[in-house]
């Protein structure tokens, strides 16, 4: 089974992908991770991607699609995989469908992590990260017992620049413009399943598991 996770930044896609991967033994395919690994291994595609990055350009969709195509031929993808963070727009989704069709495969389900912008801004703005060990906390849902210090190592907790409300709002605006149209695209294919991403992570996962039974 091939599953695409779709939703705004901060909606919990990465967390749920890791949990589902562990449960189903489906690899979590992140294009960012695959690009980095390909570049580190100095593969042909990695070198091609690096050339674009060295020029300050985005890696073209054609390169990313070929990267996914090579990755899903590996044995651990035989029973299925989870695409986390890709596709990001309709042209990428169409290219993905064409590539999978060549392999006699298809996207089976698209899980839409449904959550309002106001909830996401609140979620991001309350996050605090330990500058020493990288542990994550939240002022409301996962507060540190030591106030502005890390429970794990005693390091100082700080707010990352990209968690500032104004930065989050810009990221959400890009999502609504470029990625949200995929909701309609996959809905027309009868592949979209809605998931309430406002809930606690464990409850979200239980509902996700039920959706994919």
Q: Is 161 exposed, middle or buried (0-12, 13-18, 19+ CB in 10 A)?
A: exposed
Tell me the per-residue pLDDT of 94-120, one tens digit each, with 9 for 90 and over: 999 999 999 999 999 999 999 999 999
Does the annotation count 88 as an active-site position? Answer: yes
Please give the DSSP secondary-structure letter assigned to residue 191. -
Give the residue extent of every domain in the chain: 2-26+79-211
Q: What are the tens digits of pLDDT across the range 155-209?
A: 999 998 888 888 899 999 999 999 999 999 999 999 999 999 999 999 999 999 9
Q: List Cα–Cα distances, 5 to 26, 27, 44, 172, 212, in angstroms.
A: 13, 13, 28, 16, 12
Q: What backbone phi and psi angles, to 5 degrees, belong to 63?
A: -70, -45
Give start and end residues of each alpha helix (H) in the chain: 13-24, 31-40, 44-54, 61-71, 90-102, 117-125, 165-174, 181-188, 201-211
Spatial separation of the C-alpha atoms in residues 197 and 116, rounded to whole Å:
9
Closest alpha carbon to 6 in 159, 151, 113: 113
Domain 2-26+79-211 falls under CATH 3.40.50.300? yes
123 catalytic? Reply is no
Task: Kindly name the residue from 18, 105, 171, 198 that is annotated as catalytic.
Answer: 171
**Segment 37-54, tens digit of pLDDT:** 899 999 999 999 999 888
What does pTM read for this prediction? 0.86
Rounded CA separation 3/110 (Å)? 6
Asked about 171 being catalytic, the answer comes back as yes
Confidence category of residue 31, pLDDT binned at 50, 70, 90: confident
Clarify whether 24 is annotated catalytic: no
- Assign 141 a pLDDT band (cuts: 50, 70, 90): confident
Q: Please, what is the average pLDDT of the chain?
A: 92
- Tell me the torsion sign for CA atoms 69, 30, 105, 107: negative
Work out the pLDDT band at 7, boundaries 50, 70, 90: very high
Active site residue 128: no
Tokens 């991607």, residue located:
49
Q: Which of 78, 106, 160, 170 is catalytic?
A: 160
Predicted pLDDT of residue 97: 96
Task: Given the residues 71, 127, 128, 207, select the one marked as catalytic.
Answer: 127
């Amino acid at each position: 089974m091939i599953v695409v996770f779709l939703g705004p930044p901060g909606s919990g896609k990465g967390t749920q992908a890791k949990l589902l991967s562990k449960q189903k033994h489906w690899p979590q395919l992140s294009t960012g991770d695959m690009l980095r690994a390909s570049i580190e291994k100095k593969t042909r595609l990695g070198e091609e991607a690096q050339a674009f990055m060295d020029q300050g350009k985005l890696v073209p969709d054609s390169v990313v699609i070929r990267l996914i195509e090579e990755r899903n031929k590996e044995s651990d993808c035989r029973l299925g995989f989870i695409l986390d963070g890709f596709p990001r727009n309709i042209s990428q989704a169409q290219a993905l469908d064409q590539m999978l069709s060549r392999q006699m495969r298809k996207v089976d389900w698209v899980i839409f992590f449904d959550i309002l912008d106001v909830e996401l801004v609140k979620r991001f703005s309350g996050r605090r990260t330990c500058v020493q060990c990288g542990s994550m906390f939240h002022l409301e849902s996962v507060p540190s017992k030591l106030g502005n210090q890390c429970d794990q190592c005693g390091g100082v907790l700080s707010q990352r620049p990209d968690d500032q409300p104004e930065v989050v709002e810009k990221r959400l605006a890009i999502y609504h413009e470029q990625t949200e149209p995929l909701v309609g695209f996959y809905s027309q294919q009868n592949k979209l399943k809605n998931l309430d991403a406002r809930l606690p992570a464990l409850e979200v996962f239980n509902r996700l598991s039920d959706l994919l039974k």
